[in-house]
Amino acid sequence: MTAKLAVLLGIVQGLTEFLPVSSSGHLVLVQTFFGGSNPEADYMLFDVLLHFGTLVSVFIAFWGDIRELIIEFFGWVGSGFKLEGHAYRRFIVMVLITIVPMFPVLLIKDQLDALFSNTMFVGCALLVTAFVLLLSERAPRLHKDAANASWLDALLVGCAQAVAVVPGISRSGSTICAGLFRGFSRDFAVRFAFIMSLPVVFGANLLEVGDALAQAESTGIPLHLYAIGIFASMVSGLLAIRLIRLVTNKGHFRPFVIYCGLVGVLSIVATLAQSLAAGA
């Protein structure tokens, strides 16, 4: 692992975590085709660390909402869990509901981990992401927010997040699109998609910390390279959040549809080419 690769992985993570193009899929492809002889080990370690950088990006970009959620959480508990007339308290419950579909995912964690070395699968999943983004352009332009969205809306968006643990399926893309299909306003769809990710991403990375630390000892990668990657992911993440908010408000995902389609096809072709070369 070099400093240049650490920066590259940080930028890839920051941009693709929030743009609807799948961060996990891109990190798999970058590590496999550019990252050296042990992409699976490098990917697992840096995936854990770089996600902490993007978590900081979300806190910075949505601090106004997060601060209100923290304040209202204590008010909610102090009032005996009353929700009436409090949009941010409903927001809290919606976020909690989105976590529920993630529990079944834990049962198939080992099978999912195996997909992180399958670039053919990642390419196909990117094509699925492109198709979902294309469909979202036909989503109804409604104006639901935390005050009037239903618990079912939150559950379905949570299901979209659960599906997005598959590398190549964009978490931000699937959750934003799910919100739009359920009638969320474009601004709320983005805010909800990113804020709901905080407990899930943080929890998922805590589960991987032990393995990541053990792996760090075996790979011997210097700690300063991790810091470089984390900083790069935070800065690029902030830029990506600003861009996706602009794109979603305009309702035109076509550039990302084309991009995911092209990268998906190229990754499939590259994987086939490698297989043919290895068999020659």
In degrees and rounded to multiples of 5, residue 137 shows phi and psi of: -65, -15
Distance (Å) of CA 140 to CA 133, 161, 178, 179, 248:
14, 21, 11, 11, 13
Can you name the residues that pair with 184 across neighbouring β-strands?
Answer: 144
- Please tell me the distance from the alpha carbon of residue 181 to that of residue 158, in angstroms, as a whole number: 13
Please give the tally of structural domains in the chain: 1
Instruction: Share the mean pLDDT of the chain.
Output: 87
- Can you give the pLDDT at residue 218? 60
- Can you give the pLDDT at residue 112? 80
Distance between the two ends of the chain, CA-based, in angstroms?
29
Can you name the residues that pair with 144 across neighbouring β-strands?
Answer: 184
pLDDT band at 13 (very low <50, low <70, confident <90, very high): confident
- Can you give the pLDDT at residue 172? 93
- Please tell me the distance from the alpha carbon of residue 147 to that of residue 54, in angstroms, as a whole number: 28
3-state helix, strand, coil split of the chain in percent (to 5) is: 80, 0, 20
Q: Among 45-49, 223-227, 244-248, 266-270, whose mean pLDDT is lowest? A: 45-49
Q: Which of 5, 7, 3, 20 is nearest to 240 (CA)?
A: 20
> 81-111, pLDDT tens digit by residue?
888 778 999 999 999 999 999 999 888 877 8
pLDDT above 70 covers a percentage of the chain that reads: 90
Q: Which domain holds residue 138?
A: 3-279
pLDDT band at 37 (very low <50, low <70, confident <90, very high): very low
Q: HSE (CB half, 13 Å, CA atoms) of 227?
A: 3
- Please tell me the distance from the alpha carbon of residue 217 to that of residue 184, in angstroms, as a whole number: 46
Distance (Å) of CA 276 to CA 37, 187, 238, 262, 264:
19, 47, 40, 21, 19
Look up residue 142 and give its DSSP letter: -
> 154-182, pLDDT tens digit by residue?
999 999 999 998 889 999 999 999 999 99
| Predicted TM-score (pTM) of this structure | 0.87
- Please tell me the distance from the alpha carbon of residue 273 to that of residue 221, in angstroms, as a whole number: 31
> 98-146, pLDDT tens digit by residue?
999 999 988 887 788 777 778 899 999 999 999 999 999 888 888 999 9
Tell me: pLDDT of 45 over 70: no
Give yes or no for a contact between 20 and 244, defined as CB atoms under 8 angstroms apart.
yes
